[in-house]
Amino acid sequence: MIPQRQDFPNGFLFGAATSSYQIEGHAFGGAGRTHWDDFAATPGNTAGAEDGAVACDHYHRWEEDLDLVAGLGADVYRFSTSWARVLPEGRGTPNPEGLDFYDRLVDGMLARGLKPAATLYHWELPSPLADLGGWRNRDIAKWFAEFADVLCARIGDRLWSVAPINEPWCVGWLSHFEGHHAPGLRDIRATARAMHHVLLAHGTALQAMRARGMENLGAVCNFELALPATDSPEDEAASRRYDAIFNRFFIEGMTRGGYPAEVLEGFAPHLPQGWEEDFTTIGQKLDWFGLNYYTCKRIAARPGPWPGYAEVPGPLPKTDMGWEICPEGLHDFLARVARDYTGALPLYVTENGMASTSGVQDDDRIAYLAAHLAEVRRAADEGVPVKGYFTWSLMDNYEWALGYAKRFGLVAVDRDSQARQPKASYHALAKAWAR
Ligand code: IFM
């Protein structure tokens, strides 16, 4: 059974999360081209060459979608804003339709009693900025702060919280080292620069928002429990390297003013000149910290160049992503982040959920959510300052390189008619979150 609202500390917030490119329909409303449009248009990069041109048509159906969030009993709705919808060229003249859209959306949340929790960037880089090197170009920190300023001049007065960038690991490593996400590079120098510039842009955007007097500004990183495939010293060292790249690089940049030695082993020759001087900007004050958590990974040593590891299959039941279901990892990360990095700062689980093929009778998703919420509750009971939980995702949507086949939603979306149908998990959460 899903733990109930009353099982959590007073004032604990529940919500659902989505992102702009995954649901809005980027062909609508004068949005500019993004590097995801380019990536998807290149054969072999996304399942069925699918892209976010139409997605869930949220651009036109946002009122119905916000009604669904409200019907869930949610307190807060985590959404993201598309840089290319607001600034089609990435810089310069804003798209009035784009700003109007986010203005309506935020007012729509407030009208339904939902707190708007914005993420400024959830991966749709404007193509004209990609042409200039995208995240490899240090100037992106300036461009991103300009975007933050233009957007927040319009809606910043009504946002409950803001995080500049969703999952820096995906923006940096997954997209520039593994090549699975746009821009699809496999290049260590590009990766080192992108990962550093993501943090720099996080800092400049926070500065721009603070200059506007905005509050409740945070950061959202993803975490994966790294487990050595065997107890050999080689596998243990490999899993420490995985942990340092995935789980430590970004949070240590933000909170400790440096990078883990295990990452510098590979990155030192490739980081941009003067990177050590950037931590004053990167280490801006945070009001909260968000953790996205889905799974654990088994890591084995592999011969070859740094980082010298490979993921190997583990024994636990898996979601439709092939990800092992490992709920205690969520508890462990909440406790670890508070203990090692953020102390008394409020923590939020900003994403957690599963892809499933079970359609609207998604008992597997109910079990997944129940198990993970129980771990959040365990952490809260132990005194970890976790203050809220968002599930990913409100509705089935564009799962990036995997297209529309991977279904994370509490609400099913018919790909032809765009009809929304709440699943059993939606009803179960609505019952658990009732006030
Ligand atoms: O769909 C993604 C989301 O965009 C970022 N976090 C993980 C989700 C599931 O893969």
pLDDT single digits (tens) 207-247: 999 999 999 999 999 999 999 999 999 999 999 999 999 99
Q: Would you state the pLDDT for residue 46?
A: 98
Question: Quick one: pLDDT at residue 249?
Answer: 99
pTM of the shown model: 0.98
Model pLDDT, residue 99: 99
Specify the amino acid at residue 28.
Answer: F
Other beta carbons less than 10 A from residue 250's beta carbon: 28
From residue 166, give the alpha-carbon distance in Å to each of 39, 243, 244, 343.
Answer: 19, 19, 18, 22
Q: Which of 20, 167, 368 to mutate to test the pocket of ligand 1 (most atoms within 8 A of CB)?
A: 167
**Judging by DSSP bridges, how do beta strands 309-312 and 13-17 pair with one another?**
unpaired
The Å distance, Cα 194 to ligand 1 centre, comes to 19
Report yes or no: 310 and 299 within 8 Å, Cβ to Cβ. Answer: yes
Using DSSP's 3-state secondary structure scheme, residue 275 falls into: helix
Q: Would you state the pLDDT for residue 169? A: 99
Centroid of ligand 1 to alpha carbon of 399 (angstroms): 7
Q: β-strands 13-17, 386-392: how paired?
A: parallel
Q: Is the CB of 167 under 6 A from ligand 1?
A: yes
Any ligand 1 atom below 6 A from CB of 396? no
Cβ burial 2-30 (10 Å sphere, 16+ → b, else e): bbebeebeeebbbbbbbbbbbbbbbebbe
Q: Is the CB of 80 under 6 A from ligand 1?
A: no
Domain boundaries, the chain: 5-432
pLDDT on residue 9? 98
Q: What spacing in Å lies between the alpha carbon of 118 and ligand 1's midpoint?
A: 15
Q: What is the dihedral of CA 36, 391, 284, 21, to 10 degrees?
A: 20
Structure-block tokens of residue 8: 């959590």
pLDDT the model gives residue 179 = 98
Nearest CA to ligand 1 atom 9: 399
pLDDT for the residue numbered 10: 98
Closest to 291 in 3D by CA, of 407, 385, 200: 385
CB 313 within 8 A of CB 256: no
Q: What radius of gyration do the chain's Cα atoms show?
A: 20
Q: Report the atom number in ligand 1 closest to the C-alpha of 292.
A: 6
Does 224 sit in the ligand 1 pocket, CB within 6 Å?
A: no
Tokens describing residue 255: 């909170």
3-state secondary structure (DSSP) of residue 416: coil
Separation of 269 CA from ligand 1 center, angstroms? Answer: 31
Does the beta carbon of 392 lie inside 6 Å of ligand 1? yes
pLDDT for position 82:
99
Position 267 scores a pLDDT of 98
237 C-alpha to ligand 1 centroid (Å): 28
Closest ligand 1 atom, residue 22 Cα: 4
Measured from the Cα of 353, ligand 1's closest atom is 9
Task: Give the atom of ligand 1 at the shortest distance from the alpha carbon of 123.
Answer: 4
Amino acid 139: pLDDT: 99
Q: Which residues pair with 222 in a beta bridge?
A: 292
User: pLDDT at position 227, please?
Assistant: 98
CA atoms in the 13 A half-sphere facing the CB of 79: 26
> Is 399 near ligand 1, meaning CB less than 6 Å away?
yes
Residue 93 has which token pair?
């003249």
Whole-number Å distance, alpha carbon 52 to ligand 1 midpoint, is 14
Residue to probe by mutation, ligand 1, list 393, 402, 410, most atoms within 8 Å of CB: 393
Q: Which of the residues in the chain have pLDDT under 70?
A: none
Residue 138 and residue 273: Cα distance in Å, rounded?
Answer: 11
Q: Which atom of ligand 1 is nearest to the CA of 399?
A: 1
What pLDDT, on the 0 to 100 scale, is given for residue 247? 99
Which residues share a beta bridge with 389?
14, 349
Residues with catalytic function: 167, 351
Nearest residue (by CA) to ligand 1, atom 2, is 399
* Ligand 1 pocket, residue 243 CB under 6 Å: no
| CATH entry 3.40.190.10 includes domain 5-432 | no
Best of 50, 222, 368, 399 for a ligand 1 pocket test (most atoms within 8 Å of beta carbon): 399
What pLDDT, on a 0 to 100 scale, did the predictor assign at position 14? Answer: 99
Q: What secondary structure letter does DSSP report for 172?
A: I
